[in-house]
Amino acid sequence: MRGLDIIPPLVWVDNYAFNYESMKSYYEDLFSEENLKNKPYQPTMSGDAITSYMSNHKKQPHRQQHNKDYNQWLNDNLMELFCKVYGYKPDLTRLIVTNSWSNKQRRSGKTRTHHHKTADWVVNAYLSVPENSGKLILYPPNIDNNFGYEPKKIDVKTNDVVIFPAWMYHETEVSQSDEDRVTISYNIKIDITSNVVEASYLV
């Protein structure tokens, strides 16, 4: 017996040259006590870890000028991927960012197992990944019934960009580093109607 690969790959990895040092002041503000007054939606974080998920929407990463070039790069690459591999029509497809946020963790911090099923795809970009700050763990195809597949540990590096389906459960290892591990995440919806007036399109 042999298995048949009847679907394309579900996880994709690329690399983008972020300049994290030039953006540090933005992230200091994003994780500031003023911006996270009530530490919104922290159940997915444990230990020395924090997320800006559901904080001030005007400060979301995808809305920032310093990410304009990244957004264009991401839009171009995702459109090529989705159209060539998954069969979407380029003239009828647009990509909507429904939410974006940043996570920060250091020693003892981790992101717990979760999914993003309100979206279609998740894009995680790794702005700063110190040594021993934790691998990304993916659970294919379902954490409750994984058909014998072991969780996949991805040894992410600074400037990596990982794309995977929003239904895929994922988490991080516990950080063993005293330095900040900083990521940004986009929830992506694929719009094939092209009639959404107030959508927050990627570009």
Q: Please give the pLDDT value at position 196.
A: 60
Q: Please give the pLDDT value at position 41.
A: 64
- 65-158-106 Cα angle (round to 5): 95
Q: Please give the pLDDT value at position 145.
A: 65
Q: Which fold has domain 12-191?
A: Jelly Rolls (2.60.120)
Per-residue confidence in pLDDT tens, the chain, 203 aa: 777 777 788 899 999 999 999 999 999 998 887 777 766 667 899 999 999 987 778 889 999 999 999 999 999 999 999 999 988 888 889 999 999 999 999 999 999 999 998 899 999 999 999 999 999 999 987 666 666 678 999 999 999 999 999 999 999 999 999 999 999 999 999 988 756 656 677 87
The length of the chain is: 203
CB under 8 Å to 13, separation ≥6 — which residues? 154, 160, 161, 162, 163
Q: Please give the pLDDT value at position 146.
A: 63
